[in-house]
Structure 1
Amino acid sequence: MASKIVTSVVRIVFLVIFFLFLFYPDKLHIRFDYPDYPRSDNWFVRLAKLAFWFLLIIEILRIFYYGVVKAKAKGILANLVTITIPLIVTLIFLEIIFMYVPQSHEGVLSKASQIWWEKYWKPVNSLGYHDKEVEGNKTEKTTILVIGDSFAAGHGLEDVKDRFSNMLEEKFGHDKTQVYNLGVSGADTRDEAKRLQEFPVKPDVIVLQYFPNDIEKVAREKGVELSGAEPYADISGLSASIVRRFYLPNFIYWQLPHTGFSTFEKFVQTAYTDTTVLNAHLRDMSQMIAYRDSTKAKMYAVFVPFLFQLDKSAVYTKPVEDYLRKNGVTVVTLTDGIARIPEKERVVGKNDGHSSAPINKLIADRLYDVMKNR
């Protein structure tokens, strides 16, 4: 029996090396590189982790069997081991389960959100957009380009059919209209203008999805600081390492409140009332207007507010709305419609404040009603 325990211990030593390779690759100066890294959690890497945990369980139970059960060990140590081993195995099984539990999250901060991204962020076309492949200009069809950030891209929606751009194409008819979605998570107005200019298909219609944080990057450039804790800043040492690297503790961590919306709200308010920041932001917006003029496309702008701060959002973004209207852009507002939707139904999930399917339907309906008569 002693020899069997020794062989298990030897195998566990080799598993420790496997463990470091899988869970602490940075300590070994190793980097896993795969499509959409680090936003997506690779299925094959998780499969390797699954194999590690099962091998570890086998060796733990083997040592327990030969060292305690078959040896008929008694005493405090044997009793302690008898209690501890089932707890360890249970935790390992829970860790395995949460390796396959997806949950969308703003900023793809959690491990569950990386699983979500790998599972649901499809399709992705050859240009990198979360959309169908580009077919090119077809004269018999009206081409609509939807530009925006993660709200346009459909972050948090498990099916692109629930996204407003897809609903809009459905409403107008696939035989008459082609709608391309150029939404990218984290994009600001400057990025969006550049992507419009580089897109290979020229539009008949441009739809700009605008969110109050679109001013964030230019505000930072102009020295407006966003205070507040970074992710995982409230933990340190061993606990931080465990939470960052393992699925079960990471999932538990992100079910607890860690955000400071009031801090971000103050940042946005400062940005829109600072004329230096606002003027720079409007200059970026003018590039989009210039592109519209060069293509002779019609342009619409849909303003998605902070979904739980409707009135304040309208106040913040009013200068941008006024600028767009002044330049011939049809502005579509949503505040009254969103107010009729219960708060819990406005967002895609507990940890993700992006627009839910009902909000996307509202956007599609409003856009269609405005556009069909034009």
Structure 2
Amino acid sequence: MPREENPLAAVVAVVCMVTLLDAADKRRFRPALGWIARWLRARPVLYWLTLLIVVFGGLALWTVDRQPTYGRWLVADEYCYLACLVWIVLYLLFYDLKPGQLRSMGIKLAKSPFTGILITLTTLLILFTGLETYLRLFYITTDSYGFTAMNYHWYANFYWGKYNSLGFRDYEPIPDRPGLTRIAILGDSFAMGHGIDNIDDTFPQLLERALGADYDVNVIAHSGWDTDIQLFQLQSYPLKPDIVFLSYYLNDIDYLLTATDADPDRNFDTPNNPALSWFILNFFVPNFAYYNLMQFTSAARSTNFVADLTAAYTDDALWSQQAQRLFEIVVWCRENDIDLRVLLWPHIRELDASQAAIDQLRGFFEVQQIPVIDMTPILRDNPSPGLIVNRFDTHPGLDAQRLAAAALYNSIMGTRAD
């Protein structure tokens, strides 16, 4: 994304240059800068407030302009900006500082009724900055819906740019050779391993290792893909698979619901207040507090999300459109002599609430004589915290990945999935 010129950075750079020149030629700049410093230090409360504005205002403006919640790598001009900001703060602290001034300022602050307010404000700003730094640099996690600040952080570390030459989160495919069976996993975030840090722990890779050297399992999946795009992606894949597993999750119908009153994501909208919404979208601390602690922990919101999804499968108009898309995948695989099988994922935390949609899907594929692996009974029979990624993310966790790999292995080997 192109970066626009930041006028704030230019102002900071000019101030920094002036102070640097003053250090070299005190006769030229000392009268003006010295007067400002003396005037502020004679008013300790205002001096303290000025330092807070420079430090935290400078950091906040840089963060919003250059490091929003979807994350970016630092570039050279940002390092220069931060270095200039540090220099200006040091200059404000120590420029033309006379012996005894600190003691005099301390006496005035002790008598000021605003000192307590400043101490509280400073403490809150330091705590906020510390938490913001921790969440931005060290707290790497995901959420179910893929739009929180921490989720973008995970994408930056484990997803974006971690692709093979075909653009998928997968190892390079093995070239065709006699005796090689090629298996494609077609899907969305469930298939690409959303929230699973190590690609080797995702069910496509677990399946490939279990099958051995005569099989190559290829991932054709990206986060956010719905049924409307999956056939095109399968057709565009340069290597023809012998077997395709369609990894289907309930929200693969979401393309029919987006921007409508039935859109499940509306359960997690940002606030209507523009100022509060801006704050949440630009900083990790309020983003985490609003989404992770208030929205995602709400059982009602999660239930409503699943209810909105399952309702789409009982809506005749919506289901007929989705069934047509699925039928096109079935037909194309038959015409190209590809063995199509389906892996059905329920909402892992809402197994019972997902059942109506799962039954609709399973019935459709069974009529088409497509083998179906329904993960619902498998997940129900193997309860564990590891079925989901984390308490904010109900994508398949490490245990669910292993169960899915075992189910696919049994399907390929012609045995029953336990």
The TM-score with structure 2 as length reference comes to 0.74
State how far apart, in whole Å, the 2-side matches of 1:228 and 1:327 are: 31
Letter in 2 for 1:41: G
- 1:213 and 2:251 correspond: yes
The 8 Å contact of residues 228 and 255 in structure 2, kept in 1 or not, is answered as: no
**Corresponding residue SS for 2:228:** helix
Q: Which residue of 2 aligns with 1:115?
A: 153
The 8 Å contact of residues 303 and 350 in structure 2, kept in 1 or not, is answered as: no
Over the matched positions of the two proteins, sequence identity in percent amounts to 21
Q: Which residue of 2 aligns with 1:255?
A: 292
The 8 Å contact of residues 39 and 117 in structure 1, kept in 2 or not, is answered as: no
Distance 1:55 1:343, change over 3 A: farther
- 1:335 and 2:373 correspond: no
Distance 1:45 1:303, change over 3 A: farther
Q: CA deviation at 1:182?
A: 0.9
Distance 1:80 1:188, change over 3 A: closer
Q: CA deviation at 1:45?
A: 6.3
Distance 1:293 1:61, change over 3 A: same
State how far apart, in whole Å, the 2-side matches of 1:349 and 1:324 are: 31
State how far apart, in whole Å, the 2-side matches of 1:85 and 1:337 are: 53
Letter in 2 for 1:103: T
Alignment partner of 1:344 out of 368, 378, 385: 385
Q: Which residue of 2 aligns with 1:304?
A: 345
1:261-280 CA-partner distances (Å, limit 9, x unpaired): 33333322332122222222
Q: CA deviation at 1:209?
A: 0.7
Q: Which residue of 2 aligns with 1:28?
A: none
Q: CA deviation at 1:213?
A: 1.8
**Corresponding residue SS for 2:184:** strand
Q: CA deviation at 1:320?
A: 2.2
State how far apart, in whole Å, the 1-side matches of 2:302 and 2:69 are: 23
- 1:41 and 2:79 correspond: no
Letter in 2 for 1:126: S
- 1:153 and 2:181 correspond: no
The 8 Å contact of residues 306 and 350 in structure 2, kept in 1 or not, is answered as: no
Q: CA deviation at 1:297?
A: 1.9
Structure 1 unaligned residues grouped into runs of 5+: 26-31, 33-37
Q: Which residue of 2 aligns with 1:73?
A: 107
Equivalent residue runs for 1:268-279 within 5 Å: 268-279=309-320
Distance 1:40 1:171, change over 3 A: farther
Higher deviation after alignment, 113-122 or 86-95: 86-95
**Corresponding residue SS for 2:106:** coil
State how far apart, in whole Å, the 1-side matches of 2:328 and 2:162 are: 29
Letter in 2 for 1:257: M
State how far apart, in whole Å, the 1-side matches of 2:188 and 2:174 are: 22
Q: Which residue of 2 aligns with 1:363?
A: 404
1:79-125 CA-partner distances (Å, limit 9, x unpaired): 55455434433432332222212121233322111111111216212
The 8 Å contact of residues 137 and 202 in structure 1, kept in 2 or not, is answered as: no
State how far apart, in whole Å, the 2-side matches of 1:136 and 1:103 are: 35
State how far apart, in whole Å, the 1-side matches of 2:103 and 2:79 are: 29
- 1:226 and 2:226 correspond: no
The 8 Å contact of residues 165 and 364 in structure 1, kept in 2 or not, is answered as: yes
The 8 Å contact of residues 15 and 56 in structure 1, kept in 2 or not, is answered as: no
State how far apart, in whole Å, the 2-side matches of 1:353 and 1:337 are: 16
Distance 1:343 1:49, change over 3 A: farther
The 8 Å contact of residues 267 and 304 in structure 2, kept in 1 or not, is answered as: no
Distance 1:227 1:177, change over 3 A: closer
Q: Which residue of 2 aligns with 1:29?
A: none
State how far apart, in whole Å, the 2-side matches of 1:47 and 1:167 are: 44
Q: CA deviation at 1:302?
A: 1.0
Letter in 1 for 2:193: G
Letter in 1 for 2:242: D
Distance 1:353 1:234, change over 3 A: same
Higher deviation after alignment, 210-219 or 160-169: 210-219
Q: CA deviation at 1:336?
A: 2.2
**Corresponding residue SS for 1:43:** coil
State how far apart, in whole Å, the 2-side matches of 1:257 and 1:322 are: 37
State how far apart, in whole Å, the 2-side matches of 1:293 and 1:325 are: 15
Q: Which residue of 1 aligns with 2:280?
A: 243
Higher deviation after alignment, 48-57 or 132-141: 48-57
Q: CA deviation at 1:192?
A: 1.0
Q: CA deviation at 1:53?
A: 9.7
Alignment partner of 2:89 out of 59, 63, 71: 59
Q: CA deviation at 1:185?
A: 1.5
**Corresponding residue SS for 1:182:** strand
Q: CA deviation at 1:216?
A: 2.5
Q: CA deviation at 1:130?
A: 1.4
